[in-house]
Amino acid sequence: MDEFSSTLGIPVMVIAVLFTLYDLILLLVTSGRDPGIVPRNPHPPEAEIFEDNSEVGGARTAQLHLPRTKDVNVNGMTVKVKFCDTCLLYRPPRCSHCSICNNCVERFDHHCPWVGQCIGLRNYRFFYMFVFSTTLLCLYVFGFSWVCIVKIRNAEQISLWRAMTKTPASIVLIIYIFISVWFVGGLSVFHLYLMSTNQTTYENFRYRYDRRANPYNRGVVENFKEIFFTSIPPSKNKFRARVPREQEYQQLTIGGGFMSPNMGRAVGDIEMGRKPVTWDELRAVTQAGDLEGGLSSRNMVDDKDSELGEVSPDLRREFLSTRGVEVQAALHHRRSSWGRGGSWETMPEVRAVASAMWEKSRIGSGSGSRSMSAANL
């Protein structure tokens, strides 16, 4: 304001202050706005059932299968969407999970550490306006810093270097802005190219649309209209609402079914109106299937000897094989229902079979050890 006349000094200063405030407001809007977070699912989606080729005890085991990707049609082209194990959902097209924010973000561009926020569908417009306005502010201050030095040189009729020593603030600003403008200026030009081709930073570095067709590119004019002149969709999250505390689920597969990480706790909230069943009971059923292969031939023969008496070996073999198939069918039925929203209650006959098999195994091992001790004596 000292070097310019009163008609020019005040406007130059006012423009610089207003430009700085405008830039800070864009920074706050970019960092404080919901970038397009996709709400998580409290439970995994319905899994598809398929018959596995493996056979246990003569019966095929049914397992749950959730496809890792699904095909979605975008502008006449097929795009694969992936399943997110953290959010328990299939991500919409152009959506990705941010490892820093730990959220799935629509039209994910990148996570900006300088802004402290993901850049996505709902704040990308303000992010570019912030970067571009920062570039313009840098050029504005850089230019008027040199103008100030030149006016001092002309007013005092001294060399340029002497004029620079008389205004050290201008020298500091020139050096600082010369370094900063390469970052914000380069970022502005790079995102200008991305907007003209309707790409995101994530897609540009990962998919390389120069090697294949971009299903989202609709021309330069339409691409810019999509970024700056379309209405921003409302947030899918109600951050001010009270959220009930729910049990966190993760996709863990044990014995082909979805299992919760809360092992050992009651799962009465999985299906209303049922007796709570602990995960230890469910695990006992799977262990019974493993014990059956090694113990059924011995324990069932011991258990049925009193019933069959002196029956012929052929009839006895047929009877035992029938009982083994019944046990395997019961276990197979329980395994196939896990993860489909069906009943998690353990069948009484399955628990009885598992308990009897475990007890006979314990008694058999104890009698065997005693007979060996007697033989040694």
Give the bridge partners for 270, in sequence order.
Answer: none
Strand segments, DSSP code E, in the chain are: 48-56, 59-65, 69-74, 77-84, 89-90, 96-98, 103-105, 110-112, 117-119, 252-254, 257-259
Cβ contacts of 115 within 8 Å, gap of 6 or more: 27, 30, 31, 127, 130
DSSP-derived letter for residue 70 is E
Integer angstrom CA distances of residue 228 from 25, 126, 195, 208, 349? 18, 9, 10, 24, 65
Q: Is 112 a catalytic residue?
A: yes
Give the integer Cα–Cα distance in Å for 183 and 190. 10
Q: Residue for token digits 């202050």?
A: 17
Q: Which of 84, 87, 95, 112 is catalytic?
A: 112
Whats the size of the chain, residue-wise?
A: 377
Give the integer Cα–Cα distance in Å for 331 and 274. 20
Q: How many CA atoms lie within 13 A of 169 on its CB side?
A: 5
Q: How many C-beta atoms lie closer than 10 Å to residue 159's C-beta?
A: 10
Q: Which residue type is seen at 273?
A: G
Give the integer Cα–Cα distance in Å for 132 and 150. 27
- Three-state DSSP class for residue 336: helix
Encoded tokens for 152: 């001092």
Give the integer Cα–Cα distance in Å for 171 and 20. 20
Give the integer Cα–Cα distance in Å for 369 and 360. 14
Q: Which of 52, 65, 66 is nearest to 332 (CA)?
A: 52
Query: Exposed, middle or buried, 268 (CB in 10 Å: 0-12/13-18/19+)?
Result: middle
First to last CA, the chain: 112
> Active-site residues: which are they?
112
